[in-house]
Amino acid sequence: MAKQAVGLLETRGLCSLVSGIDAALKAADVQLTGPMKNVGSGLCNAVVTGDVAAVKAAIDAGADTAASLGEVVSAHVIAHPDEATQQVITGKSNATGDK
C-alpha cells in the first residue's frame, strides 16, 4: 500500500477546531487520527490521514471553515511522510506492521 498523507490543523480555540475538522471529514475521504489535542495557550490541533489529494482537500476545507469562526494558526499537509514521522504524528506505523 502506498504511503498516505498526513494533514494537521491547528487553531486558537476548540470551537473553531471542531468545526474545521467536521468540515474536513465531510469534504473528503480522510480519517481523524487520535483525539483532538489541547496544546496550551488556547492552541488545539488535530490530525487527519488519507491519500494526498483527499487530505489536501480536507485540510483546505477545514481551514476555511475554522477561519470563519476563529484563528487558524496552521494548516499543513505532509505528502508521503517518512514512517518515523508518521509514527510520531499519528502514533501508528504504516500498514506493513514492521514495528
How many angstroms separate the CA atoms of 74 and 17, rounded? 11
Residue 97 forms part of a structural domain: no
Residue 34 forms part of a structural domain: yes
- Helix or strand or coil: residue 57? helix
For residue 18, give the CATH number of its domain.
3.30.70.1710
- Rg of the Cα trace of the chain? 13
The residues pairing with 90 across neighbouring beta strands, listed in sequence order, are none
What is the predicted pLDDT for the residue at 94?
60
Residue 50 and residue 30 in contact, taking contact as beta carbons nearer than 8 Å: yes
Q: How would residue 26 be classed by pLDDT, with cut points 50, 70 and 90?
A: very high
Residue 28 and residue 77 in contact, taking contact as beta carbons nearer than 8 Å: no
pLDDT tens-digit profile of 57-92? 999 999 999 999 999 999 999 999 998 988 888 777
Residue 17 forms part of a structural domain: yes
Backbone angles phi, psi at 56, to 5 degrees: -60, -45
Give the number of domains in the chain.
1
Could you tell me the pTM of the whole model? Answer: 0.86
Domain membership of residue 27 as a residue range: 1-50+65-73
